[in-house]
Amino acid sequence: MAYRYWCGDCGHRTLWLRQSDAEQKHLDHYVTEHPRIAPGGRIEINDKNPEGVSGSLLVLIALVLLLVLPAACQR
């Protein structure tokens, strides 16, 4: 499953990530932006996209490499 954490004090939200990664990003946000406030907000769960953003991102990177590498080798 993919998780997205929303800040309870501003409009910030994490990307869709694995739970531990999203939670860490949420905590990092509170440390830098709201240092004296306990972390709060809400959590969204996306069970339709079990890989989160990272799976899609890897496919996109692979496609870009497949297009760029042959063009670069034709010099």
Helix, strand or coil, per DSSP, at residue 17: strand
Question: How many alpha carbons fall within 13 Å on the CB side of residue 63?
Answer: 6
Share of the chain above pLDDT 70, in %: 88
Do the Cβ atoms of 30 and 66 come closer than 8 Å? Answer: no
Domain map (residue ranges) of the chain: 2-73
Segment 26-48, tens digit of pLDDT: 999 999 999 999 999 999 998 87
Helix, strand or coil, per DSSP, at residue 53: helix
What is the rounded CA–CA span in Å between residue 3 and residue 45?
5
What is the rounded CA–CA span in Å between residue 42 and residue 16?
13
Q: Which single residue is written with the structure tokens 């080798």?
A: 73
